[in-house]
Amino acid sequence: MPRIPAQPSPMAQPRSFVWTRRVVLTLLLIFVLVPVYVMLSSSLKNLQDVQGSFRWIPSGLTVKPYVDIWKTIPLAHYFMNSLIVSVSATLFSVAVAIFASYGVSRYRFPGRRLFTVTVLSTQMFPGILFLLPLYLIFVNIGNSTGITLNGSRLGLIITYLTFSLPFSIWMLVGYFDSIPRDLDEAAKVDGCGPMGALFRVVVPAAVPGIVAVCVYAFMTAWGEVLFASVMTNESTRTLAVGLREYATQNDVYWNQVMAASLVVSVPVVAGFLLLQRYLVAGLTAGAVK
Amino acid sequence: MTATAPPRSASEAGPDSGKSAGRGRLRPRIPQRLRNIALPYLLLLPALALELLIHIVPMVFGILISFKSLTLFYIRHWSSAPWAGFDNYKIAVKIHQPIGQALLHSFWVTIAFTVLSVGLSWLIGTAAAILMQDTFRGRALLRAIFLVPYALPVYAAVITWTFMFQQNTGLVNHVLHDQLHVTSDKPFWLIGGNSFWALVIVSVWKSWPFAFLALMAGLQNIPRELYEAAAMDGAGVWQQIRKITMPSLRPVNQVLVLVLFLWTFNDFNTPYVMFGQSAPHQADLISIHIYQSSFITWNFGSGSAMSVLLLLFLLLVTAVYLLITSRRRGDADA
């Protein structure tokens, strides 16, 4: 976190500025934290507390919701599915992005600009536009070749890894560009091929950027709802679909839902906050270009 | 996660990392020149293949099936579905017929939602980034807290908001009715007109941290000398913000506003987690609307036609936006 150099103001700040800052930031802090507080406090309430009128202070604290939720819905099962899908999508996405970014950053070739523009522009497509055709394609691939993509984790992994690809490539190209070319030239003089230069010089120097890309790719896959809701079945259901389904029922144990939401959020939020300076640095590197 | 890369590379690079003559002996057929030309394309190949499979081919395919009358009956052999010409499009744009009318309504709801959400997210993000440009006690902690909504999985955040908006057991009605006595009874937030505002609030809560993050990164690139020079000339903090900070952020803002617009306009997750498959009429966002008209009625042809119309609209908006903002930027530079 302290990586960002704070700028001491060249002149004393007037009171109006300091007060504006205090008031605005306090209001924002409340806005941001109220849902977090609701999630945390409700997850520790007993059932009566969440079935009556809302209470700021729980009448008693209990960890029972954290125990019960695993039985109310197959949470462990969803968790495993989400974990397998997200980790695989992240690893493949980062590997593919490293190769592509190296190509874009280190070589000048016809079609280079077309590639970057095409990949980035896929970001703006509405998901709903290619959801229907992709679903049909997956169903038909399954029918004609026997490779089940619809309803399988594999289909979801392939889909998710392309979601984080454009941003990952964009960010890594910025990172690779900032690594002096002389370094890989030196490695090539020492007898490394282009791949040797990539893995011995460029990748080790770009670790912060790669970490940031991993975080981003994992978050993207972990939180996706739309494609998961169409492309999974009972046995491959992810957390996003499973929790949403339970939470929109009529009779919901809100304390258990809040407990589950907290459990699925903690790994991502903790990882993000620990590594946020890499992500911010990566964003900055990308923005400089 | 990244630790796997270096060891693998070491073993991979092992055999051919010797003399280049040795490599030449291994692959004598391919001349060095050709290999040099092919290499960048090979590096891009996996990314390109995946983008083609998941994005480009389905998009072309989607345009194709928007001209077919593809119903549940034809799903397993879509190629035998009868051609429909422009029928799907005609139905979608007939604004006096029920289907066209509903689509147009959904379009306007989405426009209002997007303008409000993007405007507010940008405003809050800008204010927070500027107010936190200088050091003060607790700045790093505050920044970490502000990023929490961005880091939370969308569904976990939206489910929590759904709980807060419950009519009888939610926090919002407890505060408004029981504590502040603003409302005479407990209103519904997830059905009826209020659902639109509930959606806007959740969307702003989720998206402003991204604006904040991008703008903080943008602020890093403003040279300090600019502020020092302005301070020498006697410009106060507010003037510095107006004269230096805001103009310097313009390139970041150009991209940021566009990205926020596209994300918000296409947002499916928020309404889907909040309302399930049937969104209230007043909060019927376009992506939910298309999803419903495709997967509930299993009419993929007309769903695709609506998607294509949506894409055309987004392309148009993006092109016009880039044209206008780039020209203005050019003027400012000149």
Give per-residue pLDDT as tens, B238-274. Answer: 888 888 888 888 888 888 898 899 989 999 889 999 9
Per-residue pLDDT at B71 exceeds 80: no
- Give the structural domain span for B162: 94-222+249-333
Is residue B129's pLDDT more than 90? yes
pLDDT at B131: 92
Residue B27 maps to a domain: no
Q: Which two tokens stand for residue A267?
A: 């790994």
Query: Do A195 and B58 count as a contact with CB atoms less than 8 A apart?
Result: no
Q: Which of residues 50-69 of B touch A (CB under 8 A)?
A: 50-51, 53-59, 61-62, 65
For residue B149, which phi and psi values (nearest 5 degrees)? -60, -30
Would you call B61 and A4 a contact, using CB atoms and an 8 Å cutoff? Answer: no
User: Residue B332 pLDDT more than 70?
Assistant: no
Q: Which of A149-153, A198-202, B152-156 bottoms out in mean pLDDT, i.e. has the lowest? A: A149-153
Question: For residue B19, is pLDDT > 60?
Answer: no
Report ipTM (2 d.p.): 0.86
Q: Is the pLDDT of residue A216 over 70?
A: yes
B299 vs B70: CA distance, rounded Å:
6
pLDDT exceeds 80 at position A166: yes
Q: How confident is the model at residue A109 (pLDDT cuts 50, 70, 90)?
A: confident
Task: Average the pLDDT over B266-290 and give the result.
Answer: 88
- What's the pLDDT band for A289 if we cut at 50, 70, 90? very low
Number of Cβ pairs < 8 A linking chain A and chain B: 346
pLDDT of residue B327: 77
Residue B280 belongs to some domain of the structure: yes
Domain boundaries, chain A: 68-288
Q: Is A151 or A55 the better-scoring residue by pLDDT?
A: A55
Q: Which residues of B touch A53 (CB under 8 A)?
A: 168-169, 174, 178
Closest Cα to residue A75, out of A238, A248, A270, A247?
A238
What is the number of domains present in chain B? 1
Partners of A8 on chain B (C-beta within 8 Å) are 134-135
Residue of A nearest to B306 (CA): A129
A68-288: what CATH class?
Answer: mainly alpha
Q: Report B:205-234 residues touching A (Cβ under 8 A).
A: 205, 213-214, 216-218, 220-221, 224, 227-228, 231
> Phi/psi at A232 (nearest 5 deg)?
-115, 160
Q: How high does pLDDT run on average in chain B?
A: 83
- In this prediction, residue B20 has a pLDDT band, given cuts at 50, 70 and 90, of very low
Does pLDDT of A182 surpass 60?
yes
Say yes or no: B123 contacts chain A, CB-CB below 8 A: no
Q: Name the minimum distance, in Å, from the CA of B256 to any CA of chain A.
A: 11
pLDDT at B4: 37
- Taking an 8 Å cut-off on Cβ atoms, the answer to whether A25 and B142 are in contact is yes
Question: Any bridge partners for residue A232, and if so which?
Answer: A151
Q: What is the mean pLDDT of residues B173-187?
A: 87
Section B316-325 average pLDDT:
90
Average pLDDT over residues A265-277: 86
Distance from CA of A167 to the nearest CA of B (A): 12
Tokens standing for residue A38:
């609701």
Report percent pLDDT > 90 for chain A.
29
Nearest CA in chain B to A195: B13
Residue A288 C-alpha, separation from nearest chain B C-alpha, in angstroms: 8
Which residue out of B50, B56, B57 would a mutagenesis test of the A interface target, given it has the greatest number of A Cβ atoms within 10 Å? B50
Does residue B278 sit at the A interface (CB-CB below 8 Å)? no
User: Does the pLDDT at position B6 exceed 70?
Assistant: no
For the cut 70, the answer to whether the pLDDT of residue A7 exceeds it is no
Mean of the pLDDT values across residues B200-217?
93
Of the candidates A146, A143, A125, the one whose C-alpha atom is nearest the C-alpha of residue A227 is A125
Q: Identify the residue among B75, B169, B172 best suited for mutation to test binding to A, counting A beta carbons within 10 A and taking the highest.
A: B169
Domain contains B154: yes
Q: Which of A95, A127, A279 sits opposite B266 (nearest CB)?
A: A127
> Is A53 within 8 Å of B290 when comparing Cβ atoms?
no
| Contact flag A17-B148 (C-beta cutoff 8 Å) | no
Q: Torsions phi, psi of B185, nearest 5?
A: -135, 175
A70-79 in b/e burial notation, b at 16+ Cβ within 10 A? beebebebbb
DSSP 8-state symbol, A200: I
Are A283 and B217 inside 8 Å of each other by CB? Answer: yes
Q: How far is CA B305 from the centre of its chain?
A: 22
Mean pLDDT, residues B127-145 taken together: 90
| C-alpha to C-alpha distance for A117 and A170, rounded to whole angstroms | 10
The C-alpha of B323 sits at a distance from chain A's nearest C-alpha, in angstroms, of 16
| Confidence bin at A99 (pLDDT 50/70/90) | very high
Q: For the residues B55-80, what does the mean pLDDT come to? A: 79
pLDDT at B132: 92
Chain B, window 142-201: residues with a beta carbon less than 8 angstroms from a chain A beta carbon: 142-157, 159-164, 166, 168-171, 173-174, 178
Question: Per-residue pLDDT for B105 more than 90?
Answer: yes
Determine the pLDDT at residue B76: 66
Give pLDDT, residue A288.
46
Domain presence at residue B233: no
The rounded Cα A81 to chain-centroid distance in angstroms is 16
Please give the average per-residue pLDDT across A250-278, as a whole number: 88
Average pLDDT (A186-195) is 82
pLDDT of residue B10: 38
pLDDT band, residue B75 (cuts 50/70/90): low
pLDDT of the residue at B236:
83
Tell me which chain A residue has its CA closest to the CA of residue B77: A140
Shortest CA gap A71–chain B (Å): 19
Residues of chain B above pLDDT 70, percent: 87
Whether residue B169 and residue A122 make contact (CB cut-off 8 A), yes or no, is no
d(CA B276, CA B270): 10
pLDDT at A41: 92
For residue B221, give the nearest of A14, A133, A288 by CB distance: A288
Range of B112-126, B211-225, B285-299 with top mean pLDDT: B112-126
- Are A214 and B16 inside 8 Å of each other by CB? no
Q: At B217, which CATH number?
A: 1.10.3720.10
